[in-house]
Structure 1
Amino acid sequence: MKRRTVHLVFGVLSLCCIGVALERGLRLRHTTGLNAEIARIAAAPVGKDAAAAPLSAPRELQLAQAVALSKAGAHDAALKGYASLIQAGERDPVAQQALFNLGNMYLRQGMAQDAGALPLFELGKQRLRDLLRAAPQDWDARYNLERALRLAPEDQEAFSAEQQPAHEQRRVRVPGFVAGDLP
């Protein structure tokens, strides 16, 4: 009786270990397939008329396709790819990478242009700020935001305290009330 119990426990534990090993093997196979597909996307030449990856593709492949489009100079298609990853509402690591790469794409475009670069710098800074709100520990985004702020400093006059009236200086007017009605 005692030996039967020990064999039963050993059999159950063996089946659990086999199940875990199978699950890990399948996950490794899936990850290897994704890595091979990402390497194929990165190695293949991308034209400026290329399109973003379909929404049915895994999010990692969509990100790889958007990065390849951005490097090839197809910024509109890359923007669509990044936007589809960001609009999913999730703040998973893939969406955070999409925000980071989108901000960097705007900053690179701003540095490449002479005239009209300020809106692109502002868009890049805004995307990096969005990323830092979601992931404040992202030091690469902090560094890139700092570099962007050095390239295109914020307008200090818009944030100065002298332009905004103090709380005591504000006068509220409510229709139907006379100034002496309230205590």
Structure 2
Amino acid sequence: MRRLWGRLRPSLIVALPVLLLATAAAFGIEAWRMERANRTIAALEAGTDAAVSPGAPPPVLAARVAFLAKRGRLDEAEPLLSVLEAGDDRGDLARARYALANARMREAFGLLARGELDKAGPLVTLSRQDYRRALRERPDFWDAKFNLDVASRLIRDYPELDRTDGDELRAEPKKIWTDIPGQPRGGP
């Protein structure tokens, strides 16, 4: 055992400082990356546009999506959202979906204020889908639940009606329900 220790000792004396130096360098590089990501997030939240590559960490991508959504640049946010969907961070994906849904709701409210009801409907529907997707990723997301409720009250889900003959409308009996608040949904 002494002979083995005698042979390994010089190698360990040289290898240990090199190993510790490499570990310290790795931690230093990771700290630098985190600091850089935090600065980018802070700049985006402060309203300063910052370029973000698709390979950026998920929190940076979510901050960029929120930045673009607040400015109505939804077409630029969609590719970043698909990158987030491919990743493993479900919380950041939920926040990005929520920001996108809020942007669509703001646009829909603007259209509703101008009386353009036909154009507002699809935006409300898309925002409801994004709120639901955010809740699928993070079920405890209370703000998304609240906003989904507001969006659902703006435009109700009506039964699928099968229109084939002129003014006559047919629907399957199990898809019909009353939509009047306070009215019972069942038999007597």
Q: State the AA in 2 paired with 1:107.
A: M
Task: Measure how far apart 1:120 and its partner are.
Answer: 0.8
Q: 1:98 aligned to 2:86?
A: no
Structure 1 equivalent of residue 144 of structure 2: 141
Secondary structure of the 2:147 match is helix
Shift in Å, 1:91? 5.2
1:1-183 maps to which residues of 2 (within 5 A)?
Answer: 30-43=33-46, 45-46=48-49, 53-86=52-85, 88=86, 90=88, 92-114=90-112, 115=116, 116-155=119-158, 157-158=159-160, 163-164=171-172
C-alpha displacement of 1:44: 5.0
Cα 1:147–1:75, aligned 2, differ >3 Å: closer, same or farther?
same
Check the 8 A contact 1:106/1:123 in 2, yes or no: yes
Q: Secondary structure at the match of 1:113?
A: helix
How far does residue 117 in structure 1 lie from its aligned partner after superposition?
A: 0.8
Letter in 2 for 1:61: V
In the alignment, structure 1 segments of 5+ residues that lack a partner are 1-17, 167-183
Identity of aligned residues (%): 29
1 CA distance for matches of 2:97 and 2:81? 7
Using the alignment, how far apart are the partners of 1:89 and 1:165 within structure 2? 43
Instruction: Please tell me the residue identity of whatever aligns with 1:151.
Output: L
8 Å Cα contact 1:91/1:134 also seen in 2: no
Write the letter of the residue equivalent to 1:59. P
| CA distance in 1 between partners of 2:105 and 2:76 (Å) | 17
| Native 8 Å contact 2:94 2:135 kept in 1 | no
- The amino acid that maps onto 1:70 is A
Specify every segment of 5 or more residues in structure 2 that has no aligned partner in the other structure, as ranges. Answer: 1-19, 162-169, 175-188
TM superposition score normalised by structure 2: 0.59
The alpha carbon displacement at 1:24 in A equals 8.5
Indicate conservation of the 8 Å contact 2:74/2:100, yes or no. Answer: no
Is contact 1:96–1:131 with CA below 8 Å preserved after alignment? Answer: yes
Q: 1:72 to 1:103 in 2, by over 3 A?
A: closer
Please report how far the alpha carbon of residue 135 of structure 1 lies from its aligned counterpart in structure 2 after TM superposition.
2.4
